[in-house]
Structure 1
Amino acid sequence: MNLNIHELNEKFKELITKPFKSTEDLKFQEEIRIALEKSLSEEEVELVNDLNSIGIKINSVWDLVKTNERYPDAIPILLDHLQKDYHERNIEGIIRALAVKEAKGKATPYLITMYHQIPKDNDSLRWAIGNTVDMTITQDDVKSILPIVQDKTNGTSRQMFVFALGKIKSAEVEDVLINLLNDDEVVAHALIALGKIKSQKAKDKITILTDHPKPLVRKEAQKALKKIIK
């Protein structure tokens, strides 16, 4: 099968979304899946070898995502490989493997750079970056995160960046989060963040949101309000 990793990926997506599949279609789909997994594994060999060389014995970067073991020595290697031209699936594995406290204060600038390089229609990968930033954020990262959360063209990929801001106490962050209560795509995450920082300034606006038509927003508004009053 003379297809490269990107061609295999596109063919696999085409096959799994096909509404009606014959026996031959299903057989071909499985062949493509196996070939794609093999290509993905071959692509990350250098990364796996680099990690193995420092005593981190894994077969895939996804083994780090699943482990409960700490791996502080892996962070520089992961950051180095994050900048390589890997397939999206392997890049996602590296991004998720960086969602550990040992990457705090180290990973966010790399992740923000990557976020801006990824097409805006790739919402899931950009969301994964925000999810990792929630673990790695520091006060020094705020200046680069605020423009992301305030740009509505970034869509729902902003959600975990907004959530992460709940770890930062500053008047500027508080004001941005309050403004985001008007944004349906991130309002629930803004409520959680405001609850974490116990924003007295947001109290009246949050009280109004306890009557919001969306159950999730009502629920998060009520929870945030309890934290603020407490």
Structure 2
Amino acid sequence: MDFSSLNNDEFVEYVIKEHKKRNTKEFYETQRIRKKEDEFVTMELRKAGFKVSSLFDLVNFKQTDFGYINLLLNLLDSEKITDSIMKDGMVRAITVRKAKGIAENQLLKFYGNLKTEQEKETIGWSIGNWFDHLYSDSYFEPIKEISSNKNNGISRQMFVKALGKTKEHKPIAEKLLFELTFDNEVVLHAISALGKLKSTNSIERLTELTNNKNKTIKKVANKALKKITTE
């Protein structure tokens, strides 16, 4: 599933639906833990001077004070927070320009320690979104490694998209992105990244994809080609 078009509320609704597929007892226990952990994080934020009623206030409402970044980074790797939606909310809350140069190493380390598919689909995807939103060529190598590892599943999607923003490593990025246009889990993001790179070397492949049976792939490929040939 491509989460890039979902706002935070829609994303949380998706994950809740996934939880509901499990047995009712497990679902309600998950909700209980999440509520308890949100209360804990909220109290920590209030102690630090932030007037919030939930962690997700930082995600859903415009902020002007980002002094919570280090606090959330510390809590992200804390044993006191176990719920994946809470951890995902922390990543989303620190996906702000003020976190650039502060959060990268810790987020990459945290991504590498994710264990389950569900964690990667939620927290891992949002970490990828962080690196796409706040891309720096300083982290090209780990982004490339994550993108090329199929074991990372759909959590790679935004890391792949981020490769389209490189200034210093265009030939390497082009080669990998070309290969990833044959990978159904990340094909849309690879196409988009090739368009962003204005990859003239990929015109033939992108033209081929404009005839794909999948309407979304056709649309994104046409958009990428337009960027390469007319801008």
Same fold per superposition (TM over 0.5): yes
Aligned-residue CA RMSD (Å): 2.7
In the TM superposition, 1:24-173 aligns within 5 A as 35-45=32-42, 48-49=43-44, 51-85=45-79, 86-87=81-82, 88-122=84-118, 123-125=120-122, 126-169=124-167, 170=169, 171-173=171-173
The one-letter code of the counterpart of 1:56 is F
- Check conservation: 2:128, 2:156, Cα contact below 8 A: yes
How many aligned residue pairs are there? Answer: 209
Q: Distance in 2 between matches of 1:13 and 1:185?
A: 21
Q: 2:8 aligns to what?
A: none
List gaps (5 residues or longer) in structure 1: 1-11, 20-24
Instruction: Say if 2:12 is the partner of 1:16.
Output: no
Instruction: State the TM-score, normalized to the length of structure 2.
Output: 0.79
**1:29 to partner: Cα distance:** 9.0
Using the TM superposition, give the Cα deviation of residue 144 of structure 1 relative to its aligned residue in structure 2, in angstroms.
Answer: 0.8
Query: In structure 2, what residue type is equivalent to 1:16?
Result: K
Q: CA deviation at 1:42?
A: 3.8
For residues 173-226 of structure 1, the C-alpha deviation after alignment (integer angstroms, 9 at most, x for no partner) is: 222212211211111101111111211121121111111121111111000000
CA distance in 1 between counterparts of 2:174 and 2:18 reads 44
Which residue does 2:228 correspond to in 1?
A: 228
% same residue:
34
CA gap of 1:156–1:41, structure 2 versus 1, over 3 A, is closer
* Separation in structure 2 between the aligned mates of residue 52 and residue 182 of structure 1, nearest angstrom: 48
- CA–CA distance in structure 1, aligned partners of residues 19 and 71 of structure 2: 35
- The match for 1:199 is 199
Would you say the 8 A contact 1:106–1:136 is kept in 2? no
- Structure 2: tracts of 5 or more residues without a match: 1-15
Task: Give yes or no for contact 2:209–2:218 (8 Å, CA) kept in 1.
Answer: yes
CA distance in 1, matches of 2:200, 2:213: 23
Query: What's the CA shift string for 1:19-52, capped at 9, x where partnerless?
Result: 8xxxxx7xx899757744542234425xx42x33
- Cα deviation 1:70-121 (Å, max 9, x = unaligned): 3332222222222212122221111111111221232222111111111142
Q: Which moved more, 1:129-138 or 1:182-191?
A: 129-138
1:138·1:168 contact (CA, 8 Å) conserved in 2? yes
Deviates more, 1:184-193 or 1:125-134: 125-134
Q: Deviation at 1:136?
A: 2.6
Q: Classify 1:106/1:203 alpha carbon distance in 2 versus 1 (closer, same or farther; 3 Å).
A: farther
Bigger Rg over Cα: 1
Q: Secondary structure at the match of 2:62?
A: coil
AA aligned to 1:190 is A
Contact 2:195 2:228 in 1 (8 A): yes
Letter of the structure 2 residue corresponding to residue 94 of structure 1: M
TM-score when normalising by structure 1: 0.80
Please give the alpha-carbon distance, in whole angstroms, between the structure 1 residues aligned to 2:206 and 2:27: 50
208 and 15 in structure 1: CA distance in 2 versus 1, 3 angstrom threshold:
closer
2:174 counterpart of 1:174: yes
Partner AA of 1:201 in structure 2: N
The aligned amino acid for 1:77 is L
Partner residue in 1 for 2:9: none
Runs of 4 or more consecutive aligned structure 1 residues displaced over 4 Å after TM superposition? 12-15, 28-34
